[in-house]
Structure 1
Amino acid sequence: MEVSSVTTKTAANTNESLASLAGMYRDELVNHILPFWLNHSKDEQNGGYFTCLDRYGNVYDTDKFMWLQGRGVWCFSYMYNNVEQKQEWLEMALHGANFMEKYGRDQEGNWYFSLTAEGKPLVQPYNIFSDCFATMAFASLDKASPNDRYKQLAVDTFENILRRRHNWKGIYNKAVPGTRSLKNFSLPMILCNLSLEMEHVIGKERVDSFIPEVIHEVMDVFYQPQLGLILENVNEDGSFADCFEGRVLNPGHAIEAMWFIMDLGKRMNDEALIRKACNIMLDTLEYGWDKEYEGIFYFMDVQGHPTQQLEWDQKLWWVHVEALVALAKGYALTGDERCSQWFLKVHEYTWNHFKDKEYDEWFGYLNRRGEVLLDLKGGKWKGCFHIPRSLYQVWKTLDGLKS
C-alpha cells in the first residue's frame, strides 16, 4: 500500500472516530443543558433570568448580572435560529430581552453590570462586556423575531462599544493615567466574534472593513512571537510589560480567540491565517496543560513567577469547552492530527470532570486535582452561554466530518 493511501485511510478513520461523537454533543445540548435553564432560571415575577443556581437548579441569590442576561437572550435566540424553531426557546429569549430593555441601561445608553431582581441598578456600567453581550443578544433576537427596535438597540450599543473601546472603563478606571498604560486582550478578542454576529444588521461591507483591524490586534499586537503565546496585557505600543499584568497568560482566552480567528480565516479563505491560529492554539494548550493532574490552568505567569491570581491553578468549565471547539475546528480546517489527538484528550477530561452524572448542567469550578470545588451550576460569572455554545459548535463541526 502506498504512503498516500495509508495517510488517506488514517484521516478517514480519524474523521469517523470524531464524527461518531457528534450525537453525544447534540444530545447533551438539547436534552440536558437548555432544559436546565428553561426550567430553573426564568424569573416569572420580575422578568429576566436568575443565574445563581445551585446543583439542583435552586436559586441561591437573586441579583441579575447584565452580561449574563444578554448571554441568555443570545443563547436561546441563537438555538431557535440554528437548531430548531421551538416556541419555548423564542419565548425564553423574548422574556430576557424585555427585562433588559426595561431596566438594563443608564441615561447614556451604557449597560449596567448588575441589577436587583426587580431591576434597580446595583453596579455601575464599568464593564463593557455587558454592552458586548447586549449587542449579541439583540442582533441574534432580531434574526429570530425581526424588529426594528432590536436592530437599533444592537447598532447603538455596538457603536457605543467602538467609541469607548480605547478607554472602556472611563470614569470607573482605577489606573492613574500615563504611568503604565496597558492594552487588554479581552475586547479585541470579543470583537472578532461580535463583528460576525452583527453582519445581518450592519452589512457585510462594514464587517469586512472591520475584520483586518481586529485580526491585527489579536495576531500582531497581543501575540508575542518570541514567546509563541498571546498575552492578556501589553504596552500601548504592543511591547512586553514586565509586571504582574504584563506577564499573565490566560490560556482559555487565547484558545477561544483562536477559533474566532479560524472562523474569520475561513470566511476570508485565508489558509495561512487558519494555520497560524491553529498553531498558536496548540502551542497555548501544550503550555497551559497541567502535566501532573491534567486539565488546563486558569492563569499562568509567562516567566514562571507566582501569579497575582490566587485561583491560578483552578480548572474552569469555559476554558475546557472552548478548547474543544478550537480543537474540533482546527482539525476540520487543517487536518492536523495533533488537533484530533488533543481533542480526544480534552474531551475525556472535560466529560469526566465537569459533567454532573446525576443532574442536568455541568459544574464550573474544579481544584487543580480535578475535584469539584463549587457545586453551583450558575452564578455571577457562569450562566447559559459557554457550555451550550460550545456543545453546538462541536456538534456541528464533528457532524461536518461525516463522509
Structure 2
Amino acid sequence: MERDFQQLADLYKTALLNDVLPFWQKHSIDPQGGYFTCLDRTGSVYDTDKFIWLQNRQIWMFSMLCNRLEPRSEWLDIAEHGAKFLAKHGRDAEGNWYFSLDRSGQPLIQPYNIFSDCFAAMAFSQFALASGQDWAREVALQAYQNVLRRQNNPKGIYNKAYPGTRSMKGLSVPMILANLTLEMEWLLPQETLEQVLKATVQEVMTDFLDQNLLYENVAPDGSHIDSFEGRLINPGHGIEAMWFMMDIAERYAPRSVRSNNLDLINQCVDGVLNTLEFAWDQTYGGIYYFLDIKGYPTQQLEWDQKLWWVHVETLVALVMGYRLTGRAECWNWYEKVHDYSWNHFADREYGEWFGYLNRRGEVLLNLKGGKWKGCFHVPRSLYLCWQEFEKLDRADSSQNKSL
C-alpha cells in the first residue's frame, strides 16, 4: 500500500460521513425516545430493547462530532434525542445506571456494574459541551463520581464471586477510567485530572502489562493467577488500552510521566505489536477474540471469532503509533489489518460494517447492531483514523516544503 496519507484520510472520511453515520441516522432513531440498536443487515429493527451502553455511546458519538468536527444541528438533535430519554429513564433512585430498558424506558436489567455509568459520564460530558446545557453537565459529573466511588468494587452487590478466595481485578476498569477522565478534561478540577490519569496509567502499565502483553485479569497486587480468568488475553482490550495510553501521553501526560512520554508511547507500541504477533491468525488472517497465555483452551467458546471492534481499534492504535514514533513495524501491521478489515467487515451493498465473523472470515451474524454493537467503535475509529492521516499528511507536506 502506497503511503498516500491524504488518500487514506479521504477513505476514512467518506466512509464515516457518507456511509456509517447516515446508516444510523436513517435507521436507529426511535420516535418514542432513544435509539434502536438491534438492526439487521439492511437496517430493519429486529428488537426494541435499549441497552444503556449503546444508548450513551450514540449520544457521545454525535455530541463529539459536533464538538470536534462541526456543530451540525442534525447531529446535536440526535444527541439531544437520546440524552433527554436517558436522563428521564436511565438511572435508579440512587443514581446508578441500569444495563437495559424496554422501548418505553422501563428498566429491564439492574445496574450490575459501573460501565453504564462510565459511558453515561462520557456521553453527557460531550453533550453538555455541545449543547451548553447545565443539567447535562450535572448528569455527567454525577455519573463520573459514581465511577470513582465504585471503581474498586465495580459490580457491588451483583458480584457473584465468593469474597476472599480468589480476589482479582480487571483491565476494563482502569483503561476505561483513563479514557473517560481525558474525555472529561474540560469538566474536572486539575487535581482530579492529574490524580486519576497518573493512577490509571500506572496501574495499566505496571499491573496488567507483562512481557508486552496485557492480561485481562490480575490479582489486586498485580501478580498473576493460574486460572482461566488469570491466563486470559483479550487482544482487542489490550490494544485499545494501549492507544488510550498513547493518547494520554501525547495530550495530557501526568507530571510523573510527562518527561518520559516518548518512552511511554514506545512501550505502548511494543504492547500493540507484541499482541498482534501473539494473536494474529496465521492460517485465515484476522485477530483472535480471546486467547490463553499458556495456549490452553479458553472458557470462551467464541475465542476464535473475528470481531469488528477488535480490528477497528487496532487500526487506530497502529496509525497513532506510526504517527508518534515512525516505526516501520506499525505501518507493516497497519497494511495487513487494514486489508483484512476493509475486505471482511465493510458491507459495500447495504452500508456500515458487519460485527461478527467466524474464524475463516465469513459473516457469522447478519446484523449491523445488537446488544453489544451500536453506533460507536466503527464511527469512532473511522473518525480517529481520518484525523491521524490528516496529521500525517500535514507533517509530510511540511517536511517536503523544507527540503
TM-score for both structures, normalised by structure 1: 0.94
**Residue 358 of structure 1: SS of its match in structure 2?**
coil
In structure 2, what is the equivalent of residue 314 of structure 1? 305
**Identity fraction in percent:** 58
In structure 2, what is the equivalent of residue 21 of structure 1? 8
Cα shift readout 1:295-346 (whole Å, capped 9, x = no counterpart): 0000000000000000000000000000000000000000001101111110
Asked if the contact 2:16/2:379 (under 8 Å) is kept, the reply is yes
In structure 2, what is the equivalent of residue 298 of structure 1? 289
**Residue 181 of structure 1: SS of its match in structure 2?**
coil
In structure 2, what is the equivalent of residue 168 of structure 1? 154
In structure 1, what is the equivalent of residue 224 of structure 2? 240
Q: 2:355 aligns with which of 364, 372, 390?
A: 364
Cα shift readout 1:195-236 (whole Å, capped 9, x = no counterpart): 1111111134421222110001100001123xx311000111
Taking the aligned partners of 1:20 and 1:308, their CA distance within structure 2 comes to: 42
Say whether 1:66 aligns with 2:52. Answer: yes
In structure 1, what is the equivalent of residue 95 of structure 2? 109
Say whether 1:323 aligns with 2:323. Answer: no
Say whether 1:193 aligns with 2:172. Answer: no
Taking the aligned partners of 1:274 and 1:236, their CA distance within structure 2 comes to: 25
Asked if the contact 2:358/2:364 (under 8 Å) is kept, the reply is yes
In structure 1, what is the equivalent of residue 276 of structure 2? 285
In structure 2, what is the equivalent of residue 182 of structure 1? 168
Query: How far 1:20 moved relative to its partner?
Result: 2.4
Unaligned runs of 5+ in 1: 1-12
**Residue 295 of structure 1: SS of its match in structure 2?**
coil
In structure 1, what is the equivalent of residue 400 of structure 2? none
Asked if the contact 1:19/1:400 (under 8 Å) is kept, the reply is no
**Residue 400 of structure 1: SS of its match in structure 2?**
helix
Taking the aligned partners of 2:148 and 2:262, their CA distance within structure 1 comes to: 29
Taking the aligned partners of 1:348 and 1:17, their CA distance within structure 2 comes to: 15
Query: How far 1:175 moved relative to its partner?
Result: 0.5
Matches within 5 A, 1:218-237: 218-225=204-211, 228-237=212-221
Taking the aligned partners of 2:366 and 2:65, their CA distance within structure 1 comes to: 26
Unaligned runs of 5+ in 2: 398-403
Asked if the contact 1:67/1:129 (under 8 Å) is kept, the reply is yes
Query: How far 1:360 moved relative to its partner?
Result: 1.3
Provide the aligned C-alpha RMSD in A. Answer: 1.1
In structure 2, what is the equivalent of residue 346 of structure 1? 337
Taking the aligned partners of 2:292 and 2:195, their CA distance within structure 1 comes to: 35
Query: How far 1:143 moved relative to its partner?
Result: 1.1
Query: How far 1:191 moved relative to its partner?
Result: 1.0
Q: 1:91 aligns with which of 77, 84, 90?
A: 77
Structure 1 residue ranges, 4+ long, deviating more than 2 angstroms after superposition: 16-20, 203-206
TM-score for both structures, normalised by structure 2: 0.94
Say whether 1:158 aligns with 2:144. Answer: yes
In structure 1, what is the equivalent of residue 267 of structure 2? 276
Which residue identity lines up with residue 13 of structure 2 in the other structure? R
Query: How far 1:173 moved relative to its partner?
Result: 0.6
Which residue identity lines up with residue 277 of structure 2 in the other structure? E
Comparing 64-73 with 79-88, which one deviates more in the overlay?
79-88
Say whether 1:80 aligns with 2:66. Answer: yes
How many positions carry a matched residue from both structures? 387
Cα shift readout 1:93-115 (whole Å, capped 9, x = no counterpart): 00000110010000110000000
In structure 2, what is the equivalent of residue 380 of structure 1? 371
Q: 2:247 aligns with which of 263, 280, 299?
A: 263
**Residue 122 of structure 1: SS of its match in structure 2?**
strand
**Residue 401 of structure 1: SS of its match in structure 2?**
helix
